[in-house]
Amino acid sequence: MNSGETDGTTEGAAAVAGDDERRARALEQLMTVGRQHSAVTVMFHSAIAAKQGLNATEEKTLDFLERRGPLTAKDLAELTGLAPASVTGLVDRLEAKGFVRRVKHPTDKRRVLVELNQRKLGELAVFFEEWARDIVDACEEFSAQELETVVRFLAVMSERQSKFVARLSE
């Protein structure tokens, strides 16, 4: 073996150590950026909610209803992690503000569904339209593969966070 060659073992170990260090740095950066993103997301939703006389929990509840359709109070409790009594108060407030209404369940007359007032919800849409354009613009600098990785990461993290919320609510 000449001085420029190695048996691969030393180089392989150094490469693994380098990858471990790179991964540790990336995870540290991810935690930092994740905290920053979480904080700005809460502030974003709080600001949008405030424009309509809502709090962030009320605004996100409307998002659940928009994405999933009419839900029972029990469904809302599971999705939000709120206690049933808190969900009752939440629905009362949203109903008083004109964003939702309680309707009879189509197949079980003992149950009630919480349904969106689409017209009233449209008042919130204007705030999200500009933001949606900004998101599309920002995503131009990423490849489809990078975006798919982000989507996969966010889906996994959302699932894990939902499970953690459920554990906190037990």
Between CA 78 and CA 96, with CA 117 as vertex, the angle to 5 degrees is 80
Tokens linked to 9: 């073992």
Closest to 107 (Cα-Cα) out of 82, 136, 72: 72
What angle separates helix 118-139 from helix 9-51, to the nearest 10 degrees?
Answer: 150
Instruction: Determine the pLDDT at residue 9.
Output: 66
Residue 42: alpha-carbon gap to chain centroid: 10
Low-confidence ranges of the chain (pLDDT < 50): 1-6
Collapsed DSSP state (helix, strand, coil) of residue 111 = coil
Instruction: Determine the pLDDT at residue 7.
Output: 53
Instruction: Determine the pLDDT at residue 67.
Output: 93
- Residue 31 to residue 37: CA distance in whole angstroms: 10
**Residue 71 pairs with which residues in a beta bridge?**
114
Q: What is the pTM of this model?
A: 0.72
Instruction: Determine the pLDDT at residue 86.
Output: 94
